[in-house]
């Protein structure tokens, strides 16, 4: 297709031999905004070969030089923040300011990765044998961290740039090469980000970005024998990938149903502000969004009133106007969210606002008196709909949180730090935030989910370590 953006392989921009394109629908206009190449399995094979060859040379490139190139890419990325943000606005309806923030945060992440990489990869270990029973001091063990090979990076639509670089930068500093498969919505922003790495002057074939239909190349990519590591962020697809992937390290960040437990002594203005920011920013399309409020009955009316008055102030409309609530990513997503709302209505939830939808735009909705028999109590809407469950005891709140199949983050609001610590220990989630809404950042903090929320831990340091393996050399003395 003549209009489609080219894919990137072997240091060049290419058209697919398929002659076909994949359309990217603008969530706001619901019309085709851009097109990208529909790459073939044959093209995937070629990219894998290229990536493998480039990695061998890259692994021999001095660490400080790798870091230098990453710093350069970070600076170029920041210079290109306006056009990349524009693509984010059109492809995924991210509010204008948040779109710029995503790119700037990504540049910072790449730089931090370069810094962290030279430090942690610049060190190894030295061990002696005589600490283990039966040994004399005749063996010296030297360890260092070596790259895995080709890393397959699959970011989701909600942070196509940031969650791509959070995989690319650790992989590169550690000496790996990259095959990036962007989400369809977000592909153009991703390609533009890759262009910044191209401009920085990375060797040919080291970073490759292949676009296309998941049905055509998805399984082919994730099951490809040339892949040595998969870093994936997204939904249920991750569970399917983990079942099909070979014997390679997997980093998976999947869904969440982050609970916000509110105790009687909490600062309710702080709680309300965090619920609105945590629940409704980017229209709830964040894995770390607050997805269920578990509030003590005695303070529930006051809290719900405070949240309601803040929700009333949210601006609803197009991302270009930097509205707080913008259209959700697709019609099928909007339909799914609507299904949860209808189910809650039928089962008697209290609607704090009137339910309103125009196309993919759904007005923010707080549902009070939600009960465990409602789907919204357990399922992840990935939209601006937030359930409130009133609890009679803290134990009830913890029980609800732990009964979820997800375990990404959670938060607890109280002035009693001792109680907060006990609740944090009791919550089966990768992270618990005390007196703030869940969030992944700052990006060097560990970030992980348990149960269906994921495999492994992310954050800059953990990702660098995950994308390497330990190599030992043992010197045996006579
Ligand atoms: O959607 C999942 C992201 O990892 C959440 O990142 O907490 O910075 O919005 P965030």
pLDDT in tens, 410-440: 999 999 999 999 999 999 999 999 999 999 9
Closest CA to 215 of 55, 73, 7, 20: 20
The residue annotated as part of the active site, out of 190, 209, 287, 401, is: 287
| DSSP for 401-444, written as a single string | HHHSSEESEEEEE-S-HHHHHHHHHHS-SSEEEESS-----STT
Look up residue 131 and give its DSSP letter: G
SS3 state at 198: helix
> What mean pLDDT is predicted for residues 125-145?
98
| pLDDT for res 307 | 98
Q: Rounded to an integer, what distance in angstroms lies between the CA atom of residue 51 and that of residue 289?
A: 35
Residue 464 pLDDT > 60: yes
Ligand 1 pocket test: pick from 163, 287, 430 the residue with the most ligand atoms within 8 Å of its Cβ: 287
Structure-token pair, residue 21: 């394109």
Gap from CA of 101 to ligand 1 centroid (Å)? 13
Dihedral pair phi/psi, residue 341, rounded to 5°:
-65, -45
Ligand 1 atom with minimal separation from the 447 CA: 4
Ligand 1 pocket test: pick from 105, 154, 159 the residue with the most ligand atoms within 8 Å of its Cβ: 159
Is 141 considered catalytic here?
no
Structure-token pair, residue 80: 């290109």
73 Cβ contact partners less than 8 Å away, ≥ 6 residues apart:
110, 196, 197, 199, 200, 202
| pLDDT for res 247 | 95
> What mean pLDDT is predicted for residues 85-99?
98
Burial class (CB in 10 A: 0-12, 13-18, 19+), 244: exposed
| pLDDT for res 255 | 96
Residue 2 pLDDT > 90: no
Is 338 considered catalytic here?
no
What are the counts of helices (DSSP H) followed by strands (DSSP E) for the chain? 14, 26
Which ipTM value was assigned to this complex?
0.97
Cβ distance 387 to 376 under 8 Å?
yes
Structure-token pair, residue 439: 């969030």
Cβ distance 80 to 268 under 8 Å?
no
| pLDDT for res 433 | 98
In this predicted model, what pLDDT tens digit does every residue of 150-188 receive, in sequence order?
999 999 999 999 999 999 999 999 999 999 999 999 999
The residue annotated as part of the active site, out of 253, 352, 380, 411, is: 253
> What mean pLDDT is predicted for residues 254-283?
98
Average pLDDT, the chain: 98
As for ligand 1, residues whose beta carbon falls within 6 Å of it are 158-159, 286-288, 439-441
Gap from CA of 117 to ligand 1 centroid (Å)? 22
Using CA of residue 229, residue 237, residue 99, residue 429, what is the dihedral sign? negative
Gap from CA of 45 to ligand 1 centroid (Å)? 32
> What mean pLDDT is predicted for residues 54-72?
98
Q: Rounded to an integer, what distance in angstroms lies between the CA atom of residue 156 and that of residue 187?
A: 10
Gap from CA of 451 to ligand 1 centroid (Å)? 18
SS3 state at 143: strand
Cβ distance 310 to 276 under 8 Å?
yes
Q: Rounded to an integer, what distance in angstroms lies between the CA atom of residue 62 and that of residue 114?
A: 12
Q: Rounded to an integer, what distance in angstroms lies between the CA atom of residue 92 and that of residue 103?
A: 14
Cβ atoms within 10 Å of 425's Cβ, excluding its own: 10
Ligand 1 atom with minimal separation from the 443 CA: 8
Look up residue 299 and give its DSSP letter: H
Residue 1 pLDDT class (50, 70, 90 cuts): low
Structure-token pair, residue 194: 């890759």
Cβ distance 185 to 360 under 8 Å?
no
Cβ distance 408 to 287 under 8 Å?
yes
Is the pTM higher than 0.80?
Answer: yes
Q: Rounded to an integer, what distance in angstroms lies between the CA atom of residue 98 and that of residue 111?
A: 20
Residue written as token pair 């990489």: 117
Ligand 1 pocket test: pick from 106, 108, 252, 286 the residue with the most ligand atoms within 8 Å of its Cβ: 286
Q: Rounded to an integer, what distance in angstroms lies between the CA atom of residue 469 and that of residue 231?
A: 15
In this predicted model, what pLDDT tens digit does every residue of 383-410 receive, in sequence order?
999 999 999 999 999 999 999 999 999 9
Residue 317 pLDDT > 80: yes
For residue 190, CA distances in Å to 197, 240, 372 come to 11, 24, 39
């Amino acid at each position: 297709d003549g209009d489609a953006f080219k894919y990137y392989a072997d240091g060049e921009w290419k058209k697919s031999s398929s002659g076909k394109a994949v359309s990217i629908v603008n969530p706001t206009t619901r019309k085709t905004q851009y097109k990208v190449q529909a790459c073939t399995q044959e093209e995937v094979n070629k990219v894998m070969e290229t990536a493998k060859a480039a990695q061998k040379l890259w692994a021999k490139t001095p660490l400080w030089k790798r870091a230098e190139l990453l710093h350069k890419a970070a600076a170029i990325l920041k210079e290109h923040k306006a056009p990349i943000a524009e693509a984010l606005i059109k492809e995924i309806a991210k509010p204008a300011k948040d779109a710029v923030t995503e790119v700037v945060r990504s540049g910072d992440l790449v730089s931090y990765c370069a810094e962290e990489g030279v430090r942690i990869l610049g060190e190894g270990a030295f061990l002696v044998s005589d600490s283990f029973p039966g040994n004399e001091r005749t063996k010296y063990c030297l360890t260092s961290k070596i790259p895995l090979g080709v890393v397959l990076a699959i970011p989701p639509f909600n942070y196509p740039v940031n969650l791509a670089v959070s995989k690319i930068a650790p992989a590169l500093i550690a000496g790996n090469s990259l095959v990036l498969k962007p989400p369809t919505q977000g592909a153009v922003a991703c390609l533009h980000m890759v262009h910044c790495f191209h401009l920085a002057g990375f060797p040919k074939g080291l970073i490759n970005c292949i676009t296309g239909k998941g049905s055509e190349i998805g399984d082919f990519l994730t099951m490809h024998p040339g892949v040595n590591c998969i870093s994936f962020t997204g939904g249920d697809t991750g569970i399917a990938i983990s079942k099909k992937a070979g014997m390679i390290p997997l980093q998976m960040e999947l869904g969440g149903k982050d609970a916000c437990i509110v105790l009687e002594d909490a600062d309710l203005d702080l709680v309300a502000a965090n619920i609105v920011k945590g629940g409704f920013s980017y229209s709830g399309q964040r894995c770390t969004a607050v997805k269920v409020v578990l509030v003590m009955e005695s303070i529930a009316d006051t809290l719900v009133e405070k949240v309601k008055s803040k929700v009333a102030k949210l601006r609803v409309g197009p991302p270009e106007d930097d509205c707080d609530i913008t259209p959700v990513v697709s019609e099928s997503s909007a339909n799914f969210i609507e299904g949860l709302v209808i189910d809650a209505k039928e089962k008697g939830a209290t609607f704090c606002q009137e339910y309103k939808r125009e196309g993919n735009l759904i007005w923010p909705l707080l549902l009070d008196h939600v009960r465990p028999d409602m789907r919204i109590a357990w399922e992840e809407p990935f939209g601006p709909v937030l359930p409130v469950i009133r609890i009679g005891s803290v134990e009830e709140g913890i029980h609800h949180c732990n009964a979820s199949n997800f375990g990404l983050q959670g938060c607890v609001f109280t002035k009693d730090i001792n109680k907060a610590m006990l609740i944090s220990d009791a919550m089966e989630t990768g992270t618990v935030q005390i007196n703030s809404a869940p969030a992944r950042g700052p990006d060097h903090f560990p970030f992980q989910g348990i149960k269906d929320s994921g495999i492994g831990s992310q954050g800059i340091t953990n990702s660098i370590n995950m994308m390497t393996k330990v190599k030992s050399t043992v010197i045996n003395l006579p």
